[in-house]
Chain A
Amino acid sequence: MPDFVAGLLENLLTILVTVVLAIPAAIRAGTPLLYGTLGEVYAERSGILNLGMEGMMIMGAVSGFAAAQTTGSAALGILTAALVGGLFALIHAFASITLRVNQVVSGLALTMLGLGISSLMGKQFVGQPLAARLQPLEIPVLSNLPIVGELFFQFDLMVYLSIVLVPVLWFFLYKTRLGITLRSVGENPAAADALGVDVTFVRYAAVVFGGMMAGIGGSYLSISYAPAWIEGMTAGAGWIVVALTIFAMWDPSRALLGAYLFGGVRVLQFRLQPLGISPNLLNMLPYLLTILVLWLSSDQAAKRRIGAPAALMTAYAREER
């Protein structure tokens, strides 16, 4: 143990440099997580837990790649991924909102289904490099700055888009009429219903939106990050998204922080390995952090402010008695 500590201290500077240099990579690795988390935050804010995140993301990855490869357009690929993700989420919406089945079961089924279909669909694309790549977006002045420009302004459109979405979705959630409606449906659907809000519609919309975001997040992996189709390439990203949603306390702005943090952890797994830090140790960090956040927020008063939507995982039926 003392050897390990001594080694660690010796390498402290190296570690520090490694961490800073890992920032751009962390942002890249965090981007699919960010898309997914923003989507899941919205779905859960409406009261529907979607554990099918992994399935929706991988469906986005495979369909996005397929569309981009066959049409030669990355944009069409992303669009297709969004549609497929949304369509996939519709299955969960139908099961959990209309049929009112257990949301955990339905979500898990979606994940299994997605993993299966994607590997079947993707067989023909395995090993193909993507022809239609996304190019880094040149931002005047900023991209040419020394160091800073290289670290922070060499990303493609999808990264910037996800960053722009954060304040937009935050503003929508807290400062608009529909945002208040969405939050109310997740907190107390009976109250919203009694005021003439169409609870079913709001929940469908939120879940489908969540699926579309998951699809885009998945397509980022196959169109920009890899860029290729690899079977099972989401590698648990969907599960991290579910944890991240809790970590972010159902807030889009904290989702950004969390996504990059968790993305960074994923990157550092590989970069810190040569320095004697076990990747397994870092691998469990996202989950450990989530448990920590849950613990800190377990206090009743904190729950009211930043806790889970009160009606999360509860189906709503008006005539039930």
Chain B
Amino acid sequence: MTSAKPEHTLAVALRGIVKRFPGVTANDRANLEVRRGEIHALLGENGAGKTSLMNVLYGIYHPDEGEIWVKGRRVTIHSPHDAITLGIGMIHQQFRLVQTHTVLENVILGLRERFFFPEQSARPRILALAEKYGLKVDPDARIWQLSAGEQQRVEILKALYRGVEILIMDEPTSMLTPGEALELLHILRRMTAEGLTVIFITHKLEEVMEVSDRVTVMRAGKSIATLETAQTNVRELAQLMVGRDVLFRLEKKAVTPGAPVLKVENLNVVSDKGLPAVVNLSLEVRAGEILGIAGVSGNGQRELVEAIAGLRPVSGGKILFQGEDVTQTPPRMRIERGIGFVPGERWMALIPSMSVAENMILKNYARPPIGRKVFLDAEAVATHADTLIREYAISTPNRQTPIKRLSGGNIQRALLAREMTERPALLLVAQPTSGLDVGATETIWNLLLEERARGAAVLLISDDLKEAMALSDRLAVLFEGQIMGEFTAQTMDLEKIGLMMAGALRQPTAEPTAGEPA
């Protein structure tokens, strides 16, 4: 797509779209023009209105104002059904697949196929499409048996089967390994070569540069700019996206690691499904160091931290905290001894409808000065909350506000504040910045580095490789419950890490790194 002029080269044009929700304006006169046959990135921070704008195009939301033009015609889209009829397909971030059904059943769902045995007529077409676009997938497999990458292919197949011309993908790489992401890119290229148009939503700048032909940047519900990708750079995009210069100033001071705080020896943990989730895993975290665990989610990260926090029984091995065996110690005792835990699922650690002040005392309510015999000291509760709100710059109307009303960044800041104020010797942190915008991410990262500087041992679980690499002193890659390899800040190698995340590479022996004992 080089020369751009008349209207009919536009696959989609959104003009002055306004979408309001109670208390929020998700889209504020947003505009978007997408040319036929291009890959168009929709870039913005969380809450910038990218997804809601696309939900408007797909008929999930009804715009309060604005015009939608598809292939040069003004249209009104009442439902996804209308959108599909217009040749629009959308793949949501959370895949919309029926877990218990087969791939085939998912593909033909909702179609006016033959009434009886619809799968028989659909099978050859699905196989042909899969062949044409390089989408390897077994039509008879059940969805829950498939990896995230495979499930995404099913979603793409679903769209292609419906004769999609304009495909919207919401954060398509968020669930994929670097290898799978690369494969997706090839598939997208094949699709645009066939004349399809792809709009993909992302907040990752690198991805925009790698994949897209053009990019539209959104901020606070408005479209800020549309640029040719070839004529821009990461710096400019970041600036447009955040509205100010972001430098990612990380105050990573040199800290000499102290004594080992956490030692995990040959740990085995089973998942909720009763399958091995953590297998013979050993690791060590020292005071004043951050050990990062990278990996595609679902490879045992959750089970590992929960076992260390005492929330999940261990089926084998030992957990040593400050030299003492705590494998069988109940969670309350572990908290008292100095293990802090920030789970990946925020609502596992906070109670949404309770106030900020109440949430801030969930861990120390039983101890003076907060708790005295059976009563709570209301004054101490208030002081405690106000102190944390001030020290950690939590933006909240007041301490009585239900915590669910705060923004994602502030909720996370509050949670970290509660954990950090206990001055834990060991801090377990999972996905600390998932769903947060660039600004909030920056502060959370600096808070974690402060903990490290204070001398806490930090075990950081993150699906976001950039985060894991930026913060960790040592980085271990987890795959199917085992550590595939370990890197120091100096030896980190994106390609190797990617291969390990996919299980394709394993360090021959646990490489002795700086922090490890001989």
Contacts and interface: CB of A to CB of B under 8 A. Distances in A.
B99 A187 contact: yes
B81 A180 contact: no
A304 B96 contact: no
A196 B90 CA distance: 12
Contacts of B274: 299-301
A195 B110 contact: yes
B46 interface: no
B80 A183 contact: no
Nearest to A193: B80
B165 to A, nearest CB: 16
A192 B99 CA distance: 12
A180 B109 contact: yes
A178 B115 CA distance: 7
Contacts of A195: 80, 84, 96, 109-111, 158, 162
Secondary structure at chain A's binding surface: helix, strand, loop or mixed? helix
A63 interface: no
A191 B158 CA distance: 11
A10 B149 CA distance: 65
A261 B481 CA distance: 46
A188 B97 contact: yes
A300 B273 contact: yes
Interface in B147-200: 158, 162
B142 to A, nearest CB: 8
Of the four ranges (under 10, 10 to 19, 20 to 34, 35 or more), the interface on chain A belongs to 20 to 34
Of the four ranges (under 10, 10 to 19, 20 to 34, 35 or more), the interface on chain B belongs to 35 or more
Contacts of B142: 304
Nearest to A306: B100
Nearest to A196: B81
Given A176-B116, A193-B80, A321-B21, A181 B110 contact: yes
A66 B189 CA distance: 69
Contacts of A196: 79-81, 84, 110
Interface string A136-167: 00000000000000000000000000000000
Contacts of B324: none
Interface in A183-211: 183-184, 187-188, 190-198
B100 A180 contact: no
Contact of A319 (B61, B101, B112, B118): B61
A191 B154 CA distance: 12
B164 to A, nearest CB: 12
Name the residue in B62, B90, B96, B109 with the highest tally of chain A Cβ atoms < 10 Å from its Cβ.
Answer: B109
Interface in B79-130: 79-81, 84, 90, 92, 96-101, 105-106, 108-118
Name the residue in A178, A183, A188, A301 with the highest tally of chain B Cβ atoms < 10 Å from its Cβ.
Answer: A188
Given A177-B115, A191-B98, A195-B84, 20 more contacts: A176-B115, A177-B108, A177-B112, A178-B115, A183-B100, A184-B106, A190-B92, A190-B96, A191-B109, A192-B98, A192-B110, A193-B60, A194-B80, A195-B111, A196-B81, A300-B272, A300-B273, A304-B99, A310-B100, A319-B61
Interface of A: 175-178, 180-181, 183-184, 187-188, 190-198, 299-301, 304-305, 310, 318-319, 321
